[in-house]
Structure 1
Amino acid sequence: MSSEERLADRRERLMAAAYTLYCDPGFPETTIERLCAAARISNRAFYECFSGRDELMEAVHDRCVQESLASVAKSVAQAPDSLLERIRAGIGGYIGFVTEDRRRARLMHLEVRRAGGCLTKAREQALAGFFEAVEIIGPGDPALAGPAGIDRRLLALGVIGAIQELLTEWVLADDPPEVDHLIDAAVHVFHRSFVA
């Protein structure tokens, strides 16, 4: 392999290790040494790939966000052509994708908060991703403008917060709610908040 290919391979191995270890035992408990052992690389090689655990968390989180947006786009593209069905498909595509792998749900909705410094960027990504998802669901649809006089950004943060809490409940509950029930609740919150 070339030096670029070796670097890319190490980055992928570190991201795979982080995807698992940041969820169990969790971000605060995962040391760089433990990540390196799982990825089978040296500590020195770690710093050739990432500046620290926070940057690695950002990279893993960003990949999860991009993959979830692709899932939303695919679900909406296959949905019947009505706004409510597109909303349900988009939210179902997101929640379905995130809950498909418990590690993904935990990383995106719990561990990123525990990471502290990563939270600001993660919140910005979540907000940008939310508006991108709204555009996927109803490109230019004035019905998704939200109620007149209410700041659309604040409304989006409220809906994101509701969905995050639903998914956090799913991750932490001893008896997690059915995924379909999460989707129903999220669709209701989204519809009541955004559909004029």
Structure 2
Amino acid sequence: MNSIDRPTRKYGGQSLEERLADRRDRLREAALDLVHDKGVTELTIGAVCARASLAKRYFYETYTSLEELLSSAMQDVFDSISQAIDAAGHLGISDPRQVLTVAIEAVLDAMDDPRTARLYLESAASPALLATRDAAVDRYVDQLLGAMGSTSVDDVDAQLVAHLLVSGSTHVVAMWLRGALPIERDEFIERLLNLASTAVAGLGRVE
């Protein structure tokens, strides 16, 4: 039997791929726990490895830096929001208020974890996180304008409003999830939706 045909060797009942995935999950969960407890700026590789009960060499087999680990965790959150907005488009939802509702709900669902909420709120403390966040905002702006159809993505006013809505809404959602805005979920969504709809109406988008 040659090396290509040889079955993947298992340790503790897990294949290499399964062990790598397990380490990624443990490191990510440990990092998010520590961000929630102490914040982004206090995070160290040693602390993450200790929390995950893994040797440092396993960290470097998985990630090149803390920034890569945190950016990966944040990107997962952003990807789930983007997928929800895309799904609305595939369902033919184009009414601006409905599109905004889908987007707000998607942000709430994706960030419904105080750990990711704090990671987002402190993303400006890390150039890598900030770059990940800015790229996601740009993507959401294009998605929202595309989903609402009749406003050109090249329209400057539409771009400004969309950037304000995306950045502002995501920030206040993170604040709400951390308990900084003491109102119930339904009321929070309705208020945020009304503010967003008013902003879009200024472009002649919502009746």
Which letter does structure 2 place at the counterpart of 1:18?
A
Q: Does structure 1 retain, via aligned residues, the 8 Å contact 2:46–2:56?
A: yes
Aligned to 2:69: 56
Q: Does structure 2 retain, via aligned residues, the 8 Å contact 1:91–1:183?
A: no
Are residues 1:26 and 2:32 paired?
no
Q: Which runs of 5+ in 2 are unaligned?
A: 1-9
Q: Which structure carries more helix by proportion?
A: 1
Which letter does structure 2 place at the counterpart of 1:66?
D
Write the distance in 2 (CA, Å) between the matches of 1:16 and 1:167: 21
Q: Give the superposed CA RMSD.
A: 3.0
Are residues 1:164 and 2:164 paired?
no
1:121 Cα deviation after fit = 2.4
1:78 Cα deviation after fit = 7.9
* Map 1:111-190 → 2, pairs under 5 A: 111-135=122-146, 137-138=147-148, 141-142=149-150, 144-145=151-152, 150-171=156-177, 173-174=179-180, 176-190=182-196
Q: Does structure 1 retain, via aligned residues, the 8 Å contact 2:74–2:132?
A: no
Say which is worse superposed, 123-132 or 1-10, in terms of deviation.
1-10
Report the TM-score when normalising by structure 1. 0.77
Write the distance in 2 (CA, Å) between the matches of 1:94 and 1:113: 22
Q: Does structure 1 retain, via aligned residues, the 8 Å contact 2:49–2:55?
A: yes
Aligned to 1:97: 109
Q: Does structure 2 retain, via aligned residues, the 8 Å contact 1:61–1:112?
A: no
Write the distance in 2 (CA, Å) between the matches of 1:106 and 1:159: 20
Report the TM-score when normalising by structure 2. 0.73
Write the distance in 1 (CA, Å) between the matches of 2:166 and 2:104: 14
Q: Which runs of 5+ in 1 are unaligned?
A: none
Aligned-pair identity in percent equals 24
SS at match of 1:28: coil
Aligned length: 189
